Structure 1
Amino acid sequence: MPDPGPSPLQSSLPAAAARFGAHGHGRGIEAVGCVRPALFAPPAQASAPVTTPSPALERVLRGPSGLGAAGLSLARREEPPAPEEEPPAAGRPIPGLYYHPVPEPDPVRVEELSHRIKAWAVDEVELYPPEWEDQFDGFSVGRYMVACHPDAPTIDHLMLATRLMVAENVVDDCYCEDHGGSPVGLGGRLLLAHTALDPLHTTTEYQPEWAESLHSDAPRRAYRSAMEYFAQEATASQADRFRHDMARLHLGYLAEAAWAETDYVPQVWEYLSMRQFNNFRPCPTITDTVGGYELPADLHAQPAMQRVIALAGNATTIVNDLYSYTKELASPGRHLNLPVVIAEREGCSVREAYLKAVEVHNDLMHAFEAAAADLAAACPVPSVLRFLRGVAAWVDGNHHWHQTNTYRYSLPDFW
């Protein structure tokens, strides 16, 4: 089956699925000739026959070749890469962490994207005062997004993701964390900011006041502008999908804030539940829009695809917990992250808790890759295969950015 390759944004739902949508015959991925994979299938029996993977599965596991393609492989590895004798100058990976190395992002794209996103932040939405400029530059969002979206056809496509990433971080900083954030009153602030993504439909009398409010602070200005750009290029389904995932994100913010207000340290499973919502999910879920195509809504909504996306978001968020561990310890107050919660709830040392958090991440990564490979085998539709590779690329690019961003992150001395 040929690779769909970069193409204008359009639905690639096969004709069979289009007929299903028009006439109501059949349900879900079965309508496009895909086999529904079991989400919690029992282990295969030892006597099960050995089968040869289909060419489509082999191709999606192998991924494409060429510059930047290393991050697009879904092939599962049994062991993490062997550590190098000398750590690279740009930062070293966490020992024992399971990850896939990616090439350094294209410097030409990084430079152009960095220039354009800074112009947007400063000139269009007045995102930060001059004293925050070093933090904006140190975030290296241009490198981040180029690494995460190697199949983006143009800088304009990359800007769709980059504006949203910057806007999400501004909301987190200004409403929740570093720059005046607080759990007190967070729900009201987030709700009003969410209307910049999911607009208010109200009476003529009150509409102007709401519209004016969208310019009242940096988070709302950023959300409004970034979403306007995104909605111009995305399909209606893709835009609504993103709004849904942002509502999930905001729900996660509120759970963490509630625990902070009551000084509650959650059980480990509770913390992981919160992190499934307060995580990176809105970023990989738009990989098709940034790639210039569409994973049709019916395929995106399938439980098997939702499991893949959820596991990807969970694994990448635990990467953030691990790399930001020392940064958060140095900040005022108690910051919940997975090592802190494990140490508190399981009564182990901080070192033991950190190393167990690495194991949790690795388990999530293996589960993500297994779920993605199973779905690729069950439903080898071109848009599904490309979307799975795009999510895998985002997972790998996210790790690369965390590993190499020594402005923000350093590792604890646990080895």
Structure 2
Amino acid sequence: MLAGRLDERLLEWADGIGLYDGRMERVRDAGFGRLAALCYPATDDEDLLMVPARCALAIWALDDHYCDAPDLGAVPSLLGSRLATASATLGRAHLPDRHEAAFDAATRDDPALKGLRSAAGHLRRITTAAQFDRTRHTLRTLFAALAQEGTWRATRYQPQVWEYLMNRQANSFLPCMTVIDALGGYRLPADVWAHPDVHDAVGTAALAASIANDIYSAGTESRSSDGDFNLPRAIAAEQPCTPQEALRLSAELHNELMHRFRRQCDELAHQGGRELHRFLDGVLDWCAGSLAWHRTAPRYHRHATDGHAPHTLERT
């Protein structure tokens, strides 16, 4: 089975790097190999699918090591500095040679950075310079959003719904979507990707997919005491309302965004070429695959919210 083989290869990769040393059950439970198999139906090439699977695991591990898991070394006061360093590892630091060597030495043994470097290296292998830069830019934006979330956590600040959604737009699945064309064997032109209407449409889908993640992870995060943030929690604090009502309202917002994405695709159908149409179809496939993964992933199923709100999520 493709998903199973990808998950086994991910375990080997993570073990070789030292990610989750002694805690490999976290990697096995995550199932990012299955996520890749579901979200990129344009290919069944294992080597190609391992690229986004490694990237997803590397980002997830960085979030754990730096933001969420003290047992893995997360230190809130170091978050901003660490994320800035992580951003630098996505490309050359452009330092004088003797200082570049010092940078490499200082970051060599950090497992989160090793995972990020390795994943980025594999991504470079299958992408053009423009495609890689597209992903790198969205990752750096994601790191900025993680830093903002760290500030909220340190100050015990409960963001308003609009603030949370603004943050979630950046801290989203957008980096995963940027590689859709590379996996599909074609290239979305850089000027098409940069078009505001295209950015808005893909960003809408990425936010919707991230809200689905919030809904499915709400059960786990409700048991957490370290100040996790999600949309149902933000809605419940602002309304106020019951947790179940907040889940329903979150699901409605997800569906509203997916319907908006559909309308945006229809409008873009009159503007773009074949590559854009393929890419937008790929984004819709990605959202459907992600939803299927969330509905069955052990890490979410184990802490089900009660089964009501998640099943109202629409792919459209």
Normalised by the shorter chain, which TM-score bucket?
A: over 0.9
User: Could you tell me how far 1:185 is from its partner in structure 2?
Assistant: 2.0
User: Could you tell me how far 1:374 is from its partner in structure 2?
Assistant: 1.7
2:55 is aligned with what amino acid?
Answer: L
Cα distance per residue 1:67-95 (max 9 Å; x no partner): xxxxxxxxxxxxxxxxxxxxxxxxxxxxx
Q: Are residues 227 and 256 of structure 1, via their aligned partners in 2, closer, same or farther at CA, if it must alter by over 3 Å?
A: same
User: Could you tell me how far 1:209 is from its partner in structure 2?
Assistant: 1.2
Q: Which residue of 1 aligns with 2:3?
A: 110
1:311 is aligned with what amino acid?
Answer: T
d(CA) in 2 for partners of 1:143 and 1:323? 17
Q: Are residues 411 and 111 of structure 1, via their aligned partners in 2, closer, same or farther at CA, if it must alter by over 3 Å?
A: closer
Task: Say which one has the larger Rg.
Answer: 1
Instruction: Name whichever of 223-232 and 401-410 sits farther off.
Output: 401-410
Q: How does 1:193-272 map to 2 (within 5 A)?
A: 193-272=86-165
Listed as ranges, the gaps of 5+ residues in structure 1 are 1-107
d(CA) in 2 for partners of 1:256 and 1:353? 20
SS in 2 for 1:348: coil
Q: Which residue of 2 aligns with 1:170?
A: 61
d(CA) in 2 for partners of 1:119 and 1:180? 22
Q: Which residue of 2 aligns with 1:137?
A: 28
Q: Which residue of 2 aligns with 1:90?
A: none
Aligned Cα RMSD in Å?
A: 1.5
Q: Which residue of 2 aligns with 1:393?
A: 285
d(CA) in 2 for partners of 1:408 and 1:354? 15
User: Could you tell me how far 1:223 is from its partner in structure 2?
Assistant: 0.8
- 1:187 alignment partner, one of 80, 98, 102: 80
Aligned pairs, number: 305
- 2:40 alignment partner, one of 128, 149, 154: 149
Instruction: Name whichever of 190-199 and 302-311 sits farther off.
Output: 190-199
Listed as ranges, the gaps of 5+ residues in structure 2 are 309-316
Q: Which residue of 2 aligns with 1:161?
A: 52
User: Could you tell me how far 1:414 is from its partner in structure 2?
Assistant: 7.5
Cα distance per residue 1:245-268 (max 9 Å; x no partner): 001101110111111111111111
Q: How does 1:12-411 map to 2 (within 5 A)?
A: 108-123=1-16, 125-130=17-22, 132-152=23-43, 154-178=45-69, 179-379=72-272, 381-409=273-301, 410-411=303-304
1:146 is aligned with what amino acid?
Answer: A
Report if aligned partners of 1:157, 1:291 keep a CA contact under 8 Å in 2.
Answer: no
Cα distance per residue 1:268-327 (max 9 Å; x no partner): 111110110111110011111122221010111111110111011100100111000010
1:390 is aligned with what amino acid?
Answer: G
Instruction: Name whichever of 173-182 and 395-404 sits farther off.
Output: 173-182
User: Could you tell me how far 1:404 is from its partner in structure 2?
Assistant: 0.6
Q: Which residue of 2 aligns with 1:78?
A: none
SS in 2 for 1:184: helix
d(CA) in 2 for partners of 1:116 and 1:289? 21
SS in 1 for 2:173: coil
Instruction: Name whichever of 333-342 and 396-405 sits farther off.
Output: 333-342
1:226 is aligned with what amino acid?
Answer: A
1:243 is aligned with what amino acid?
Answer: R
Report if aligned partners of 1:153, 1:292 keep a CA contact under 8 Å in 2.
Answer: no
Cα distance per residue 1:51-108 (max 9 Å; x no partner): xxxxxxxxxxxxxxxxxxxxxxxxxxxxxxxxxxxxxxxxxxxxxxxxxxxxxxxxx2
SS in 2 for 1:200: coil
d(CA) in 2 for partners of 1:352 and 1:408? 19
d(CA) in 1 for partners of 2:307 and 2:158? 23
Which protein is richer in helix relative to its size? Answer: 2
d(CA) in 1 for partners of 2:203 and 2:19? 30
Report if aligned partners of 1:113, 1:159 keep a CA contact under 8 Å in 2.
Answer: yes
Scaled by the length of structure 2, the TM-score of the pair is 0.92
SS in 1 for 2:104: helix
Report if aligned partners of 1:138, 1:408 keep a CA contact under 8 Å in 2.
Answer: no
Comparing both chains, which one has the higher relative contact order based on Cα–Cα distances under 8 Å and sequence gaps of 6 or more?
Answer: 1
Report if aligned partners of 2:11, 2:24 keep a CA contact under 8 Å in 1.
Answer: no
Q: Are residues 278 and 334 of structure 1, via their aligned partners in 2, closer, same or farther at CA, if it must alter by over 3 Å?
A: same
SS in 1 for 2:92: coil
SS in 1 for 2:42: coil
d(CA) in 1 for partners of 2:75 and 2:173? 21
